[in-house]
């Protein structure tokens, strides 16, 4: 029987993190932006059926980037956890912070104990009753939780996109402006993203009990400025992406 090679724990963790980061970087990014009536989430996604952004509970939404089957499994677990908690106690007792902690536990556990880490980055967002009370929890593949204010970006090109948002974002944006800067930041200076390549949804205070609402592509086309034909350099969706990732 041969002895297994010794690998330093630092090296194991680094390899896993690199593996997860590479997987996430293959998919496209997602931006979440606080605006005057709540939180806007916007992602590049050529598919209109495989969603990156979804409703979890009355005031809570979920967004994920990376490997579709993995973040969708997390999404469903979140819906189940929230519905069970609301059923056992009260609808008011379901909150994003608790969900984010549960996600962090799962992702951390899988990162250290399983063969392969999850190649996902997720966002748990909760719209508050008043402006300024919205919460966004950005959770990484290894279970790191970050409490974000104003805006946050998930995915491979997160830093560049966050830099662009940093210069554009301000408090009290309306929905149309929030959408324009989010889409502008996702695309960058030399690329315009068509409404048919976008998925967007809001958690809006004014929406009643269930704050989540999808913004369909017709509505997106109405809000976003029409792209000048010459400037449009949309990427072909199928050639640049592996089949497992949705957008």
Partner 1 sequence: MPLFTPGDDPGPSFADLLRRTGRQPEIPQLSASERFDITHGTTVVAIRYADGVVMAGDRRATAGNWISHRAIEKVFPADRHSGVAIAGAAGPAMEMVKLFQLQLEHYEKVEGDALSLEGKANTLGQMVRNNLPAAMQGLGVVPLFAGFDTRREGGRLFEYDITGGRYEETRFAASGSGSMHAGTVVKLGYREGLSRDETVDLAINSLFEAADEDSATGGPDLVRGIYPVIATITSRGFERLDEAEIAERFRTLLERLAIREAGAPARVPETSDQRGVDEP
Q: Which residues bind partner 1 (CB under 8 A)?
A: 51, 54-56, 73, 76-81, 83-84, 86-88, 99, 102-103, 105-106
* Of 73 and 112, CB closest to partner 1: 73
Nearer to partner 1, 11 or 89 (CB): 89
Which of these, 190, 175, 199, 177, lies nearest to 231 by C-alpha position? Answer: 190
- Return the bridge partners of 204, or none: 38
**Angle between helices 175-187 and 158-168 in degrees, nearest 10:** 140
Give residue 209's region: left, alpha or beta (phi > 0; psi -120 to 50): alpha
Q: Minimal distance in Å, beta carbon 125 to partner 1? A: 15
Cα dihedral sign for 101, 103, 104, 105?
positive
Between residues 91 and 148, which has the closer beta carbon with respect to partner 1? Answer: 91
Whole-number minimum distance, CB 132 to partner 1, in Å? 27
Smallest distance, partner 1 to C-beta of residue 87, A: 6
**Residue (74 or 153) nearer to partner 1, CB:** 74
Strands 151-154 and 145-148: unpaired
Instruction: Please report how close the Cβ of residue 140 comes to partner 1 at its closest, in angstroms.
Output: 17
């Amino acid at each position: 029987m041969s002895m297994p090679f010794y690998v330093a724990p630092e090296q194991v963790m680094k390899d896993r993190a690199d593996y997860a980061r590479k997987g996430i970087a293959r998919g496209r990014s997602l931006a979440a932006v606080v605006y005057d009536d709540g939180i806007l989430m916007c992602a590049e996604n050529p598919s209109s059926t495989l969603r990156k952004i979804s409703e979890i509970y009355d005031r809570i939404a979920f967004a994920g980037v990376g490997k579709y089957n993995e973040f969708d499994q997390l999404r469903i677990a979140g819906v189940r956890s929230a519905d069970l908690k609301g059923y056992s106690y009260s609808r008011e007792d379901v909150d994003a912070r608790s969900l984010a902690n549960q996600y962090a536990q799962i992702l951390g556990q899988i990162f250290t104990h399983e063969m392969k880490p999850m190649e996902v980055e997720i966002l748990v967002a909760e719209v508050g009753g008043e402006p300024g009370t919205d919460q966004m929890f950005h959770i990484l593949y290894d279970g790191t939780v970050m409490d974000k204010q104003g805006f946050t970006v998930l995915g491979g090109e997160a830093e560049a996109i966050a830099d662009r948002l940093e210069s554009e974002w301000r408090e009290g944006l309306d929905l149309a402006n929030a959408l324009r800067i989010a889409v502008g930041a996702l695309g960058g200076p030399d690329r315009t993203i068509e409404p048919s390549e976008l998925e967007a949804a809001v958690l809006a205070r004014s929406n009643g009990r269930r704050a989540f609402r999808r913004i369909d592509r017709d509505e997106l086309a109405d809000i976003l400025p029409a792209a000048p034909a010459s400037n449009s350099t949309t990427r072909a969706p199928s050639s640049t992406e592996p089949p497992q990732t949705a957008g």
